[in-house]
Structure 1
């Protein structure tokens, strides 16, 4: 099959590379000349483990190419995927569909043979029917079908998610379109991965419902974590006990400083907006959105308590700024709420993140970037762990505590324990949903 992929952002690039690895002829299209030049040199504009090697393999095999030329990409294509951004629209919280509709209209003006126009971007219910109307209006004679094929890729594990999916969702209106999509995903069908064919609206809703539910699980356990701190319970043990129930499952029950990223914040807001438009308020989702913001602010209060009520004049080391490990994505990351509060409160903030500096230098003005976690914590009054990168999971805590001005650790990802912190010589330790400690000053000790 020949596939054109419009958009070389995270979803478009990963999908295009993986489709080419299925054996399809894939042409990835973008309007940004610099991005196309990078890709043609084998350079990846995003950080995703293993993507560079898979890209190089399929370019060398002649199955994958990159271009600015949409007409050339569409020539002879069996399907064209729209994988452009759908950011939250300013003012009303709805998904901005302008890029999707512009791509659909451009396809209509160029295509001259039967083609399946597949929406890969995350879009609200009813969008694919809007795409169909827009294409018909732009080119009434075009023979085409539309399909909805939402993505379920976790940043940092996207290749495995594409190659070994929990499920593939395909929304179609005709048997002809279903046959094209079945051929595209044939390698997964042969390996018996679940492929669910639905109507357009159900496919669109599945994506939003799934993300809203996962965001709800995260937010629920974060609220439980706050209660655990007051009652003396341990949220890690609570999560384990809950997760053993097969009806609940253990995934997405890890407490922390709130969810972020490119999907959950945007998709929960879009689902809430859709509910309002149809007169069916998504009350649980709306509450999840507000509680998640409260959780981020609660983390600031926790850090303020550890700094004796003021950030002013304190030196604070922060490990991790991306919304999760194994990605350079900082969209809606808790760090974008927490770190500005530290800087605004008068703290000197030093930051270390394996991949976050490129975006972070623009998004987090006023911080000092350090490449080494030990240098980042040197002479600090507080160490804050915001992202659970593997590089931060086995630090020499004794070495860190010795070099800090005031050895205090705010472990907002629960990767260490009270026992670890005490053994290392920290005078204070706080995590999320578990008991911490504050070392009582000895007689004559004025504190750090």
Structure 2
């Protein structure tokens, strides 16, 4: 099939490359000429394992990029993969996706064949039908009756996004009631993936599909906060939270995933999506107390890491190493990274911060241009009075003799990636 993907950010680039890998002809559309030029060279603007290889395989063949929305008229299905950032109250800002929807409608005003517009962005229930569809239809004018709408939430984890798309746990396809053509068309888009993987397909309404994404992320975020809360209690009793979690995870009603207690969740999805569903619930007159509590637990975790450090060393005037700046390994994304409040807390207490991350240092430098950035973990630890481990990059597990070069070998681990060893004062956040 011929597909167009509007928006070439993290999600848009990944799904465009993956759709091409499934055999579709894909046109990526973005208003940023530099992004388009980069894609047409086969270069991704983000760090994501496996993505560069897919681009190299398909750019110039089944995948091209352009700034021209009129390219939509040569495709059968358009996916909207635009950002929906948070407003101050946590609700989503739909201005970017609505501007794109209008541009899509203007392009479709010149198309006679039927066309399916699918929301890929994360939007609160009702947004596709009450905001996005009207924007497209108004711009399309007389052709609007030949446009169908759908919703296909993404479940991509940064660092494993390509694998998540090509080997999904589930595929959720939301369409309008009674629109058999829309159902068949969206089915056809994912037919190669279903045939290849046997993944379960959930066919549902558009509002239900929109809510499934929020429910999925809210559940996982709450599960992490719950194990972190339990881990904090374990720490107070001198109990190893990981041994507790290993046993709890054997219960098939609970499962072992997302039971690694630590410094909390970050990134672009969990914080934004949980805030959005809280705001949406409040707009409907319901107070989501459990989700609010989950956010509260998460917000407190970085402070607990710093508190453990200060129980051994006063940060004022001291050189403190921060290992890991990305919100998780295998990405350069620092959005809502737990390193941010942690670094700010150290600076507020007068510490001299030296930070290291294998790929995310340049991004963090935009937030904190005046702290020191080391080119290796060893350099960050050299002559440091304390070290905080924030991201569980695999290379940190191999650190050993590097701790001997610290002025004061105090290591506070927020991810259980460092081995306890003689010669260092080691504190685990929840163990």
Residue of structure 2 in register with 1:321 after alignment? 325
**Residue 404 of structure 1, aligned match among 397, 403, 406:** 406
Which whole-Å CA distance do the structure 2 matches of 1:64 and 1:219 have between them? Answer: 40
- Is 1:255 matched with 2:230? no
Which whole-Å CA distance do the structure 2 matches of 1:401 and 1:84 have between them? Answer: 44
- Is 1:226 matched with 2:225? no
Residue of structure 2 in register with 1:51 after alignment? 51
Which whole-Å CA distance do the structure 2 matches of 1:105 and 1:350 have between them? Answer: 46
Aligned-pair distance for 1:127? 0.7
Aligned-pair distance for 1:300? 2.2
Structure 1 outlier segments of 4+, above 6 Å: none
Matches within 5 A, 1:22-421: 22-60=22-60, 62-71=61-70, 73-90=71-88, 92-111=89-108, 112-113=111-112, 114-130=114-130, 131-142=132-143, 143-173=146-176, 174-191=179-196, 192-307=198-313, 310-395=314-399, 397=400, 399-417=401-419, 420-421=420-421
Aligned-pair distance for 1:120? 0.4
Q: Secondary structure at the match of 1:185?
A: helix
Residue of structure 2 in register with 1:20 after alignment? 20
CA contact (8 A) 2:309 2:410 kept: no
Which whole-Å CA distance do the structure 1 matches of 2:397 and 2:62 have between them? Answer: 39
Is there any run of 5+ residues in structure 2 with no aligned partner, and where?
none
TM-score for both structures, normalised by structure 1: 0.92
Q: Deviations over 1:101-138 (max 9, x none)?
A: 11111111111232111000000000111212222223
Which whole-Å CA distance do the structure 1 matches of 2:42 and 2:193 have between them? Answer: 27
CA contact (8 A) 1:340 1:364 kept: no
Q: Secondary structure at the match of 1:402?
A: helix
Which whole-Å CA distance do the structure 1 matches of 2:413 and 2:49 have between them? Answer: 26
Residue of structure 2 in register with 1:438 after alignment? none
Q: Secondary structure at the match of 1:169?
A: strand
How many residues align? The count is: 422
Q: Deviations over 1:38-97 (max 9, x none)?
A: 22222210000111111110115x1000111111x212211111001001013x210111
CA contact (8 A) 2:228 2:297 kept: no
Aligned-pair distance for 1:349? 1.2
Q: Secondary structure at the match of 1:75?
A: helix
TM-score for both structures, normalised by structure 2: 0.96
Aligned-pair distance for 1:411? 1.0
CA contact (8 A) 1:343 1:367 kept: no
Aligned-pair distance for 1:347? 1.3
Q: Deviations over 1:415-443 (max 9, x none)?
A: 234xx322xx11x1111211xxxxxxxxx
Q: Deviations over 1:377-406 (max 9, x none)?
A: 0011112111001111111x2x22321111
Which whole-Å CA distance do the structure 2 matches of 1:225 and 1:392 have between them? Answer: 22
Q: State the Cα RMSD in Å.
A: 1.2
Which whole-Å CA distance do the structure 1 matches of 2:328 and 2:246 have between them? Answer: 21
Aligned-pair distance for 1:252? 0.7
Which whole-Å CA distance do the structure 2 matches of 1:188 and 1:38 have between them? Answer: 27
Aligned-pair distance for 1:140? 3.6
Which whole-Å CA distance do the structure 1 matches of 2:263 and 2:19 have between them? Answer: 35
Which whole-Å CA distance do the structure 1 matches of 2:34 and 2:310 have between them? Answer: 43
Which whole-Å CA distance do the structure 2 matches of 1:210 and 1:42 have between them? Answer: 32
Is there any run of 5+ residues in structure 1 with no aligned partner, and where?
435-448
Aligned-pair distance for 1:325? 0.2
Which whole-Å CA distance do the structure 1 matches of 2:291 and 2:346 have between them? Answer: 29
Q: Secondary structure at the match of 2:142?
A: coil
